[in-house]
Chain A
Amino acid sequence: MTTTPQAVRRASPRARRTVTPPDPARPLLPAAEPVRLLDETGTPLPARTDYPEPPVEALRELYRRMVLGRRFDTQATALTKQGRLAVYPSSRGQEACQVAAVLAVRDTDWVFPTYRESMALVARGIDPVEVLTLLRGDWHCGYDPTEVHTAPQCTPLATQCVHAAGLAHGEAYQGRDTVALAFIGDGATSEGDFHEGINFAAVFKAPVVYFVQNNRYAISVPLSRQTAAPSLAYKGVGYGVPSEQVDGNDPVAVLAVLTRAVAHARAGKGPFLVEAHTYRMEPHTNADDATRYRDGAEVDAWRDRDPLARLETYLRARGVLDDAAVAEIAEQAEAYAADLRTRMNTQPTVDPLSLFDHVYAEPTPQLVEQREQVRAELAAAHDEEGDA
Chain B
Amino acid sequence: MATTMAKALNSALADALAADERVVVFGEDVGALGGVFRITDGLQARFGEKRCFDTPLAEAGIVGFAVGLAMSGLRPVVEMQFDAFAYPAFEQIASHVAKLRNRTRGKLSVPIVIRVPYAGGIGGVEHHCDSSEAYYAHTPGLKVVTPATVEDAYSLLREAIDDPDPVVFMEPKKLYFGSAEAELPVRTEPFGRAVVRRTGRDATLVAYGPAVPVALEAAEAAREEGWDLEVVDVRTIVPFDDATITASVRRTGRCVVIQEAPGFAGVGAEIAARVQERCFHALHAPVLRVAGLDIPYPAPMLEHTHLPGVDRVLDAVARLQWDDQPDARWAAA
| Interface residues in chain A, defined as those with a beta carbon under 8 Å from any beta carbon in chain B | 110, 139-141, 144-147, 151-152, 156, 159, 161-171, 173-174, 178, 180, 192-193, 196-197, 199-200, 203, 354, 357-361, 364-366
Contacts and interface: CB of A to CB of B under 8 A. Distances in A.
Given A196-B56, A360-B141, A169 B68 contact: yes
B74 A358 contact: no
B202 interface: no
Given A167-B69, A192-B88, A199-B58, A361 B100 contact: no
Contacts of A203: 55-56
B105 A139 contact: yes
A365 B190 CA distance: 14
B225 to A, nearest CB: 35
Most B C-beta atoms less than 10 A away, residue of A162, A359, A365: A162
B107 A200 contact: no
Given A192-B88, A365-B239, A163 B67 contact: yes
A67 B70 CA distance: 36
A116 B43 CA distance: 43
Nearest to A147: B107
A353 to B, nearest CB: 13
Contact of A173 (B50, B55, B109, B241): B50
Contacts of A156: 91, 95-96
Interface string B91-124: 1100110011111111111000000000000000
A365 B192 contact: yes
A46 B61 CA distance: 42
Nearest to B163: A361
Contacts of A358: 101-102, 104-106
Contacts, number: 152
A336 to B, nearest CB: 25
Most B C-beta atoms less than 10 A away, residue of A144, A166, A169, A197: A166
B95 A166 contact: no
Given A166-B67, A167-B69, A170-B72, A361 B61 contact: no
22 contacts: A144-B104, A152-B108, A159-B92, A162-B63, A163-B65, A164-B68, A166-B68, A174-B73, A192-B58, A196-B64, A197-B61, A199-B56, A200-B64, A354-B105, A358-B101, A360-B141, A360-B239, A361-B101, A361-B106, A361-B109, A361-B165, A364-B238
A170 B95 contact: no
Contacts of A365: 192, 239-243
A140 B242 CA distance: 31
B164 interface: yes
Given A159-B91, A167-B69, A360-B239, 5 more contacts: A141-B103, A146-B108, A196-B58, A200-B64, A359-B102
Contacts of B55: 200, 203
Interface in B212-265: 238-243
Contact of A162 (B68, B238, B243): B68
Most A C-beta atoms less than 10 A away, residue of B64, B67, B101, B192: B64
Instruction: Place the interface of chain B in its size category.
Output: 35 or more
Nearest to A176: B72
B196 interface: no
Nearest to B96: A159
Most A C-beta atoms less than 10 A away, residue of B24, B61, B70, B103: B61
Contacts of B74: 170, 173-174
A175 to B, nearest CB: 11
Nearest to A355: B102
Given A167-B72, A173-B74, A140 B61 contact: no
Contacts of B243: 365
A360 B143 contact: yes
Given A163-B68, A360-B143, A366 B103 contact: no
Contact of A152 (B50, B64, B91, B104): B104
